[in-house]
Structure 1
Amino acid sequence: MIMGLLGFVLRAAVVLSGTAALTFALLWNAPGDPAQAIAMARFDALLTEDVIDQVRAEAGLDISFWPAFTSWLVPLLSLDFGNSAVTGRPVWPDLVTAMSYTFPLALASLAVGLAVSLPLAVLAAKRPGSLVDRCAVAVASLGVAIPAYWLGLLLILLFAVKLAWLPAMGARTAAHAILPALTLGLGVTASFTRIIRSGILEARGQPFLPAIRRRGVSDRAIGRDHVAPHAAIPVVTVFGLELAFLLEGLVLVEVIFGRPGLGTFLVQAILARDFPHVQAVVVLTALIFVTVNLLIDGIYRVIEPRIGERDA
């Protein structure tokens, strides 16, 4: 158990450090003059070379790669992302404000996906090959095929423009989160439906179940004690991965719906070449991936204790 935890921590450290180094290198070697982009974002006007040189010095762009990387990495070890190159404000408060819009939307999207996919997958798995099963598979395939940005525009056109039921832009009220949550949630529904259906069918096909039935165990007890735990392992995997990948899909969806979350935060930072903001979002996303993997591993050990026994 201890060795497994140490191994995970080591892998997490490698992932985080590699992500930080690669992100910094890509931003540092991106085409164009970052000092000019920062100056334009800061002053919103055409500037002289003297002003651009001053901005370059203030942003630490007048030194070589390794000293700049070291000066950024050392504070990062204490989760200090520094100050914005454009506004000069600390990165953390702006990042927390963006997260306060993004994380509730991600959780709402997951809730929509589970609320639709779970009953749909259970109904489909009860009668494989039936009309309900074929419809569930078709819905899942359609959900995977439709890009989130196109679905978001269709929902805006229908519910905000044609019917005028819901607002399309902003994040002032809970109603503003409905269309973005549906846009992302329908994509999550597609993945969940396929995985839950396959997990239930695979669990019901286990060779030991007929012997348990012959002992007089009820179908409800078999479903609760044997089918559900076996089918839950792939569902837990997909749930964790969808939570992580939702943060990527939110970049497009938040821009489309004009929400001030991590997506808008990242896009504005990239356009302004605001290195501290971009690096903070990337490192935070990598940290979420690592944390989700750790939680999935812990849930695995609860659902299936033999996983922990093999690591012992």
Structure 2
Amino acid sequence: MSKTLFGLLLRTLVVLAGTAFLTFALLWNAPGDPAAAIAMARFDALLSQEVIDQVREEVGLNTSFWPAFWSWLGPLLCFDFGNSAVTGRPVWPDLWGAMTYTFPLAFAGLMIGLGVALPLAIFAAKRPGRLSDRIAVAIASLGAAIPAYWLGLLLILLFAVQLGWLPAMGARTPAHAILPALTLGLGVAASLTRIIRSGILEARGQAFLPAIQRRGVPEAAIGRDHIAPHAAIPVITVFGLELAFLLEGAVLVEVIFGRPGLGTFLVSAIAARDFPQVQAVVLLTALVFVVSNLIIDLLYRLIDPRIGERDA
């Protein structure tokens, strides 16, 4: 087990290192003059070349790629994201403030998605191929086909404009989070419904189940001890990855609903070519992805120890 855990951690570190290098390289070689964009964002006025050159020197854009990369990577190993190229403030406090809006929103969307998908999938799997099953699959397919930005606009039009029940923009009260969370959650529910349904049907089709039923084992025990663990593996996969994907979806949803968070933080950083802030958001998203995958791999081995035996 320790060997397996070491391999998983090593793979996680390789992914994070590659993400850090590619992120820095892409931003460094992006078209345009980042010093001019930073100067415009900092002073909000047309500037002389002397001021732009001074900004270029201050933020370290007057050096070559490798010295700049190593000077950024060194503090990063100590979890120091550096200072904003525009404001000069440390990146981490502003990033943390954005995370306090985005992470609860993503978690609420995930809970809504699971709350909708689980009963819908169980309802569909009870009678596969029947009308109830086809209706559930059609609802899930429709939810997967609707883009988040369009669904968000539809919810704003219905619940904020037409009915006036919920606020559309901002994040001043808990009610402001309902429509964004619904937008995220309904999209998650579509994929979770299909995966949970497929997992239940596949588990029910196992060859050993008729023998267990003939022994007189109660259906509740069969579902708890045999069907649920088998169906849990694909569900855990999608559930963990959806949490990571929700952070990306929240970026777009926050912009639509005018909420503070990683979305507005990233958009403003890209517009200002604020490299430290952009790199911090990308690395944070990558960290959530790799940690989610690490947890999923460990849960696999707890649910089905044969997976660890095959790896060994």
With the length of structure 1 as denominator, give the TM-score of the two structures: 0.98
Q: Identify the residue that residue 211 of structure 2 maps to in structure 1.
A: 211
Task: Tell me which stretches of 4 or more aligned residues in structure 1 moved more than 6 Å.
Answer: none
2:295, 2:13 → 1: CA distance? Answer: 16
| Partners of 2:9 and 2:196 in 1: CA distance | 30
- In structure 1, C-alpha distance between the alignment counterparts of 2:233 and 2:271, rounded to whole Å: 41
How far apart, in 2, do the equivalents of 1:84 and 1:125 lie?
Answer: 52
Correspondence for 2:135: 135
What is the deviation of 1:129? 1.4
Tell me how far apart the structure 2 counterparts of residues 124 and 220 of structure 1 sit (CA, whole Å).
18
Residue aligned with 2:128, SS: coil
- What displacement does 1:290 show? 1.0
Deviation per CA, 1:157-199, whole angstroms, max 9, x where unpaired? 1111111111111111110110001101010000000000000
Partner of 2:299: 299
Task: Summarize deviations over 1:45-85 as a string: whole Å, max 9, x none.
Answer: 11111111111111101111111001001111111100000
State the distance in 1 between where 2:18 and 2:305 align. 32
Letter in 2 for 1:67: P
Task: Give the aligned partner of residue 230 of structure 2.
Answer: 230
Take 1:161 and 1:59, find their aligned partners in 2: how far apart are those partners? Answer: 45
Q: CA deviation at 1:305?
A: 2.0
**Structure 2 unaligned runs (5+)?**
none
Cα deviations across residues 73-126 of structure 1 (Å, max 9, x unaligned)?
Answer: 111111110000000000000010000000000000001001111000001000
Work out the CA distance in 1 between the residues paired with 2:301 and 2:65.
Answer: 43
Contact 2:42-2:87 at 8 Å conserved across structures: yes
Give aligned-pair identity as a percent.
80
Structure-1 separation of matches of 2:105 and 2:286: 19
Task: Quote the offset at 1:279 in angstroms.
Answer: 0.4
Unmatched segments (≥5 aa) in structure 1 = none
1:145-224 correspondence runs (5 A): 145-224=145-224
Q: Which residue of 2 aligns with 1:62?
A: 62
The separation in 1 between residues aligned to 2:233 and 2:187, in whole angstroms, is 20
How big is the alpha-carbon RMSD for the aligned residues of Structure 1 and Structure 2? 0.8
Quick check: 2:12–2:294 contact (8 Å CA) kept in 1?
Answer: no
User: TM-score, normalised to structure 2's length?
Assistant: 0.98
1:310 positional shift: 2.9
- Say whether 1:19 aligns with 2:15: no
Q: Which whole-Å CA distance do the structure 2 matches of 1:274 and 1:32 have between them? A: 13
**C-alpha distance in 1 between matches for 2:119 and 2:45:** 56
What whole-Å deviation, never above 9, does each CA across 1:190-221 have from its counterpart, x for those lacking one? 00000000000000000000000111101111
Task: Summarize deviations over 1:203-245 as a string: whole Å, max 9, x none.
Answer: 0000000000111101111001000110011000000010011
Q: Which residue of 2 aligns with 1:121?
A: 121
